[in-house]
Amino acid sequence: KNIVILISGRGSNMEAVVRAAKAEGWPARIAAVISNRPDAKGLAFAQAQGIPTATVPSKQFPTRAEFDGALQLEIDRFAPDLVVLAGFMRILTAPFVEHYAGRMLNIHPSLLPDFPGLDTHGQCLAAGKQEHGATVHFVTAELDHGPIVAQARIDVRPGDTEETLATRLLVEEHKLYPYAVRLFVEDRLRIEHGEVRVLDTQ
Ligand code: GRF
């Protein structure tokens, strides 16, 4: 299977997926890493791994529709079976999302349906929650609302700040995302009535 990963910045989740695919010998190939920002730090890692990279600079497109159209063309050059959003900080248009329906995943740093959108660690602290987490979900037109594939949980500790939560959660994200992407690659995910069913291995 061909996987195209989209990033906007650091790319540590992309890195975790790339490393797991290699170490665990997935029946998959990271076909490309594409950024909407030319200065995304993660591009250097991908290049060092010999993965093709591309940049579609979102700043240069006057409308979301034009950017998403250009991005779709670039992605589809690599004939992806799966598009993996890894810290890709863009709101996507409905036609773009529809084009990749059932084959685009995102990781969001909260226990969805709690705290969609930005500043999830701050939202979690402000709400006084005892638990925080991350969610991998299929991408649908409504932001951070698609069918949930898997979640990872951490306890909120006394004295936690946005930074300590983010740091502790990132460790879990780096296990969760490779796990979820691997389920897709192994063809073990089905979307039924808007919910994900995970098939057992034989
Ligand atoms: C992660 O916390 C991810 O859940 C969120 O943005 C962050 C991206 O980090 N969507 P990185 O670029 O993968 O290092």
Can you tell me which atom of ligand 1 is nearest the CA of 14? 13
ipTM: 0.95
**Distance from residue 11's CA to the centre of ligand 1 (Å):** 7
- Ligand 1 neighbourhood includes 133 CB (under 6 angstroms): no
- The predicted pLDDT at position 59 comes to 96
Q: Which domains, and CATH codes, for the chain?
A: 2-198 (3.40.50.170)
pLDDT in tens, 51-98: 999 999 999 999 999 999 999 999 999 999 999 999 999 999 999 999
Structure confidence at residue 36 (pLDDT): 98
- The catalytic residue positions are 108
Confidence check: pLDDT of 202 > 70: no
pLDDT of 192 over the 90 cut:
yes
Tens-digit pLDDT profile for residues 8-67: 999 999 999 999 999 999 999 999 999 999 999 999 999 999 999 999 999 999 999 999
Binding-site residue positions: 11-13, 64, 89-92, 106
Arithmetic mean of pLDDT over the chain: 97
Residue 107 CB less than 6 A away from ligand 1? yes
What pLDDT digit, counting tens, does each position of 99-130 carry? 999 999 999 999 999 999 999 999 999 999 99
Token pair 């409905």 in the structure block, residue: 94
The protein residue with its alpha carbon nearest to ligand 1, atom 5, reads 87
d(CA 190, CA 177): 17
pLDDT tens per residue across span 124-157: 999 999 999 999 999 999 888 999 999 999 999 9
pTM of the shown model: 0.97
Q: Residue 75 and residue 10: Cα distance in Å, rounded?
A: 20
Question: Which residue is closest in CA terms to ligand 1's atom 1?
Answer: 87
